[in-house]
Amino acid sequence: MSEAAVSFVLENLKQIAVCNAHLIADVRENFEKLFDQLKILKGFVKDYTEMNSNTEALKALRRELKSVVGETEDVIDEYIVHASTQKARGKVDYGSKLRDLGKEIEQVSRRVKLTLESQIVPRLEAAQIQDVANGRAKKKQAPIVEEDNVIGFDDATKAVMELLKAGSEDLEVISIVGMHGLGKTTLAKKVLHDPKIEYDFFARAFIYVSQQFERTEVFLNILGSIGQLTEEAKNMPEEKLAEHVREQLKTRMYLIVMDDVWKIEDWDKLKVAFPNNKKRSRVLITTRNTSVAIYANPAVEPYHLDFLTFDASRELLRRKVFGENKCPEEVEQYELHIVKKCDGLPLSIVVIAGILIKHRQIVRWWSRVADSVNDYISRDEKHIRDVIILSYNHLPYHLKPCFLYLGVFREDFEIPAWKLLRLWIAEGFVPQQRDLNLEDIAEEYLEELVDRNLVMVGQRRSNGQIKTCRVHDTLRDFCKEEGKEENIFHEIKKDDREILSSKSPTLDDCRRLCINANVMDYMSKKPSDAPVRSFLTSAKEETALDAKYVSLIPRAFKLLRVLEAKSLRFAVFPPDLCQLVLLKYISMSCKLDILPPAMSTLWSLQTLIVDTTARTLQIKSDIWKMPQLRHLHTNTSTSLPCPTTPRCETLVNANLQTLSSISPQSCTKELFERTPKLKKLAICGKLAVLFQANGRSNLFESLCALDFLENLKLLNEYVSSPLKRLPQETNFPRKLTKLTLSKTLLPWNQMSTLGKLANLEVLKLKINAFKGDRWRTESGGFQSLRFLHIGSTGLSSWDVAAADHLPVLKSLVLKHCPDLRRLPPSLGHISTLQLIDLSCTNPSVASSAKDIENLKLKQAQQKGSKSNRFMLLVYPPDHLLLPPHKPLLPVLLLQVSKVLGISSSPILFS
Per-residue model confidence as pLDDT tens digits over 278-323: 999 999 999 988 889 999 999 888 998 888 888 888 888 888 788 7
pTM for this predicted structure: 0.76
Alpha carbon distance 203, 210 (integer Å): 22
Instruction: State the pLDDT at residue 64.
Output: 67
Rg (alpha carbons) of the chain, rounded to whole number:
31
Residue closest to 301 by CA, chosen among 906, 903, 904, 901: 901
Domain 311-377 has CATH 2.60.40: no
Alpha carbon distance 233, 219 (integer Å): 10
Confidence check: pLDDT of 342 > 50:
yes
8 A C-beta contact, residue 625 and residue 88: no
What's the pLDDT tens digit per position in 210-228? 777 889 989 998 998 888 8
Mean pLDDT of the residues in the chain: 80
What's the pLDDT tens digit per position in 60-75? 666 666 677 777 778 7
Instruction: State the pLDDT at residue 907.
Output: 28
At 64, phi and psi to the nearest 5? -70, -40
What's the pLDDT tens digit per position in 376-390? 665 555 556 766 776
Instruction: State the pLDDT at residue 805.
Output: 83
Instruction: State the pLDDT at residue 311.
Output: 86
Question: Which whole-number Å values give the CA distances from 569 to 527, 566, 645, in the listed order?
Answer: 20, 7, 33
User: What's CA 598's distance to the chain center, in Å?
Assistant: 34
Secondary structure (3-state) at 797: strand
Alpha carbon distance 62, 486 (integer Å): 9
Instruction: State the pLDDT at residue 71.
Output: 75
8 A C-beta contact, residue 356 and residue 377: no
What's the pLDDT tens digit per position in 763-782? 999 999 999 999 998 888 89
CA-based torsion, 279, 284, 290, 292: positive or negative: negative
Alpha carbon distance 855, 831 (integer Å): 11
Confidence check: pLDDT of 881 > 50:
no
Confidence check: pLDDT of 757 > 90:
yes
Which residues in 43-75 are b (16+ Cβ under 10 Å) and which e?
A: ebbeebbebbbeeebbeebbeebbebbbebbbb
8 A C-beta contact, residue 40 and residue 524: no
Domain 154-304 has CATH 3.40.50.300: yes
DSSP state of 641: P
Instruction: State the pLDDT at residue 863.
Output: 74
Contacts of 329 (CB under 8 A, 6+ apart): none
152 burial type by CB count under 10 A (0-12 exposed, 13-18 middle, 19+ buried) = buried
Alpha carbon distance 596, 470 (integer Å): 36
CATH label, 385-485, candidates 2.30.42.10, 3.10.20.30, 3.40.50.880, 1.10.10.10: 1.10.10.10
In this chain, the answer to whether the domains covering 154-304 and 311-377 adopt an identical fold is no
Secondary structure (3-state) at 586: strand
Strand blocks (E) in 708-820: 711-716, 738-742, 746-747, 762-765, 770-771, 774-777, 787-791, 797-800, 811-815
What's the pLDDT tens digit per position in 576-615? 899 899 999 999 999 889 999 999 889 889 999 999 999 9
What's the pLDDT tens digit per position in 630-649? 999 999 999 998 765 554 44
Residue 106: CA atoms inside 13 Å, Cβ hemisphere, count?
A: 11
User: What's CA 179's distance to the chain center, in Å?
Assistant: 15
Q: For the chain, what are the domain ranges?
A: 4-137, 154-304, 311-377, 385-485, 808-910
What's the pLDDT tens digit per position in 120-143? 666 556 655 555 445 444 444 444
- Greater confidence (241 vs 119) lies with 241
What's the pLDDT tens digit per position in 5-50? 455 555 656 666 666 666 666 666 766 666 676 666 666 666 555 5
Instruction: State the pLDDT at residue 208.
Output: 86
- Greater confidence (727 vs 99) lies with 727
Strand blocks (E) in 137-272: 172-177, 203-208, 254-259
Instruction: State the pLDDT at residue 141.
Output: 47
Q: What is the mean pLDDT of residues 808-828?
A: 93
DSSP state of 484: H
Terminal C-alpha separation, the chain: 40
Count CB atoms within 10 A of the CB of residue 214: 11
